[in-house]
Structure 1
Amino acid sequence: MGQCLPCMGGAVKDVVETPDPEVKRRQLAEAAEKRQMEASSRGIKNVYSVEQKKKKQEEMEKRMAAERPGGEGGLRWQVG
């Protein structure tokens, strides 16, 4: 029927303050970015080289799309 409670004077020191929602949101976003970076570079020895190759490939695709007559498909249809 009785309750065992610690002395209230010492309990105040043990209370963990929850961070501000904005601070917590920022920390979670930073942690997610860190996990994503680690996952994307897992198994890759030279991350810089892979990024350069990816950028080069994207530039090539843009140039190819710009050179194609008629836009995306490259095929022309004539009716008549």
Structure 2
Amino acid sequence: MGMCFPCPAESAPPSPSLEEKRTKLAEAAERRQKEAASRGILDVQSVEEKRKKKEKMEKQIATSGPPPAGGLRSTFQRM
């Protein structure tokens, strides 16, 4: 009476394969990441567009090469 173990006559329920477990865990992790990334943001699309625009600008700056001569200079004095 009150035992927590299954009866010896009953067989254990079939467990999903390792591959099924991995895919479900991966899906759950991806879903959690998306929820965490959009937490507190009302318009997710707007934020994504701004992020892409910022990346595009950074890429353009990186590929444009060094700034032309006559730009800002930093002068350090050695002791």
TM-score, structure 2 as length reference: 0.70
Q: What's the secondary structure of 1:48's corresponding residue? A: helix
Matches within 5 A, 1:9-24: 11-12=10-11, 15-24=12-21
Percent identical among aligned pairs is: 50
- Alignment length, in residue pairs? 62
Cα deviations across residues 4-60 of structure 1 (Å, max 9, x unaligned)?
Answer: x7472xx24xx3211000010000000000000000000000000000000000000
Find the aligned partners of 1:38 and 1:58 in 2 and give their Cα distance: 22
The residue type equivalent to 2:40 in the other structure is: G
5+ unaligned residues in a row in structure 1: which ranges? Answer: 71-80
Choose between structure 1 and 2: higher helix proportion: 1
The residue type equivalent to 1:17 in the other structure is: P
The residue type equivalent to 2:31 in the other structure is: K
Which of residues 51, 56, 59 in structure 2 aligns to 1:62?
Answer: 59
Q: What's the secondary structure of 2:21's corresponding residue? A: helix
Give the ranges of 4+ consecutive aligned residues of structure 1 lying more than 4 Å apart after TM superposition: none
